[in-house]
Structure 1
Amino acid sequence: MHPSGIFVTGTDTGIGKSLVSASLLHALRARGFSAVGMKPVASGCDATPEGLRNEDALLLQAASAPVPAYDEVNPYALAEPLAPELAARDAGIDIRLDVLVEGYRRLAAMADRVVVEGVGGWAAPVSARLDQADLARAMDLPVLMVVGLRLGCINHARLTAAAIAAAGLELVGWVANEIDPAMLRIEDNVAMLRERLPVPCWGRLPFAADPSPARLASCLRPGGN
């Protein structure tokens, strides 16, 4: 794993990036590292007395030690459950790369590792001018890919891995996340992914109706070791 952290992306939206990111934070802490999470941009936030709050960002905050302030975990909180570009446009917010990079650097200064979770799938834009590749590149982070195990995952995983490489970024590993308990031939699909993806598998999270990142941390091997 990179000395300062990693950028977590996925093969699609709703495939468990937040669960994997939070579980990875617990796994790193179990290895003796201080580790904090970051969700640079989050749409679909709830109004609270403290301000807009996103469920995924709160999960990362709860899994962090030390625990950063919410605004440090999630610099851009957007109300509407839309693609960030649309949610930011509706809110009249300009998502700036320099703000996100500076936020990452503040988190990196307080912990050994920072786990940065992207938005949606790898090709989902962050804003009208920013792609996720721009974030990972500006933060100088390698990429960890979450593969949601369901029909079509091999295609999505291979396309995502190719897109990460085409952007000139380093894909260092992938995590299999069981999101469809009814998936047929799941073991064969995992075996095919292992054969075709050019990087090691960092672990596999079993399906759970109410998953606990702290318990699932033991399923992950940061660095694939």
Structure 2
Amino acid sequence: MPKAFFVTGTDTDAGKTLASCGLLQLAHSQGWSTLGLKPLAAGAEQTEQGWTNSDALALQAVSSLQPAYAEVNPVLLKQPIAPHLAALEEGRSLNLERLAGLVRGQLMKRADLTLVEGAGGWRVPLTPGQTLAGLAKALQLPVILVVRLKLGCLNHALLTVEAIQRDGLPLAGWIASSQGPEPMLQEEANLQSLLQLIPAPCLGHLPWLESATAEAAAGFLSLEPLNAH
């Protein structure tokens, strides 16, 4: 049965893309069809495909359904800043209903595993009255949370978990992500605290990887806890 999840993080640069690519790579290695989506991205550079976002390109590369770039990332803003500010700078408006419709079109492809990666954290603003959490709510997708291991991560993780639960969505699992060659102080103790405090299974711990490839990340992750969804 096809499975789809929304991937969010405790912060910007939490490691969402590497975690998503690792999960998609792991699924593909087990014979699953895969699709990674980044419906909204802020931060673009000129490439052979035109203006693109590096996270979206990474997801496109590990999607076995071989989507076109515009299918992976239909809304691209050039400045690497908060999406609502980037849209304002470009004279554009963000529309939650349109985003949800675009993602629904891709979900109809019914890949064995589809991951919809958010932008930044759970409450990233889109408009004065909407946040990107509304996309996950509109699609009714279970959530995978990527926790960046740094000072303050316990508070950030628990607040995000509370917000996801308050929005009525199930937390399918979480992934710990180390963000530098030197581990945070008391990293193992913090990991144990997260294991005790987050009411969802841990899908793995991504250490700092010199070669941060999907293949390398896949070796530290597990899909088994997602089978319940």
Normalising to structure 2: TM-score of the pair?
0.92
2:191 maps to 1:190 = yes
Q: Which moved more, 1:211-220 or 1:125-134?
A: 125-134
Question: Does the CA contact (< 8 Å) of 2:56 and 2:72 recur in 1?
Answer: yes
Cα distance per residue 1:41-87 (max 9 Å; x no partner): 10111133533100110010011101100000001011111100011
Question: Does the CA contact (< 8 Å) of 1:84 and 1:127 recur in 2?
Answer: no
**What stretches of structure 1 move > 4 A for 4+ residues in a row?**
none
Q: How many residues align?
A: 224
2:93 maps to 1:83 = no
State the alpha-carbon separation in 1 of the partners of residues 15 and 132 from structure 2: 17
Shift of 1:122: 1.1
State the alpha-carbon separation in 2 of the partners of residues 52 and 83 from structure 1: 18
Shift of 1:212: 1.0
Q: Which moved more, 1:142-151 or 1:120-129?
A: 120-129
Shift of 1:96: 2.0
State the alpha-carbon separation in 1 of the partners of residues 57 and 129 from structure 2: 27
Q: Which moved more, 1:43-52 or 1:77-86?
A: 43-52
State the alpha-carbon separation in 2 of the partners of residues 184 and 134 from structure 1: 35
2:113 maps to 1:123 = no
Match of 1:216 in 2: 217
Q: Which amino acid aligns with 1:41?
A: L
Q: Which amino acid aligns with 1:186?
A: E
Question: Does the CA contact (< 8 Å) of 2:8 and 2:145 recur in 1?
Answer: yes
Question: Does the CA contact (< 8 Å) of 1:118 and 1:132 recur in 2?
Answer: yes
Question: Does the CA contact (< 8 Å) of 2:124 and 2:133 recur in 1?
Answer: no
Cα distance per residue 1:88-126 (max 9 Å; x no partner): 111122222233223222322332221000011111123
Question: Does the CA contact (< 8 Å) of 1:4 and 1:108 recur in 2?
Answer: no
State the alpha-carbon separation in 2 of the partners of residues 178 and 224 from structure 1: 21
Q: Which moved more, 1:45-54 or 1:165-174?
A: 45-54
2:20 maps to 1:27 = no
Question: Does the CA contact (< 8 Å) of 1:145 and 1:175 recur in 2?
Answer: yes
SS in 2 for 1:160: helix
Question: Does the CA contact (< 8 Å) of 1:9 and 1:119 recur in 2?
Answer: yes
Question: Does the CA contact (< 8 Å) of 1:85 and 1:127 recur in 2?
Answer: yes
Shift of 1:33: 1.4
Percentage of identical aligned residues: 43
Q: Which moved more, 1:69-78 or 1:126-135?
A: 126-135
After superposition, residues 16-95 of structure 1 pair within 5 angstroms as 16-48=15-47, 50-95=49-94
Q: Which amino acid aligns with 2:108?
A: A
Q: Which moved more, 1:2-11 or 1:198-207?
A: 2-11
Question: Does the CA contact (< 8 Å) of 1:41 and 1:119 recur in 2?
Answer: yes
Q: Which moved more, 1:40-49 or 1:170-179?
A: 40-49
Shift of 1:131: 1.3
Unmatched segments (≥5 aa) in structure 1:
none
Q: Which amino acid aligns with 1:159?
A: L
Unmatched segments (≥5 aa) in structure 2:
none
Normalising to structure 1: TM-score of the pair?
0.93
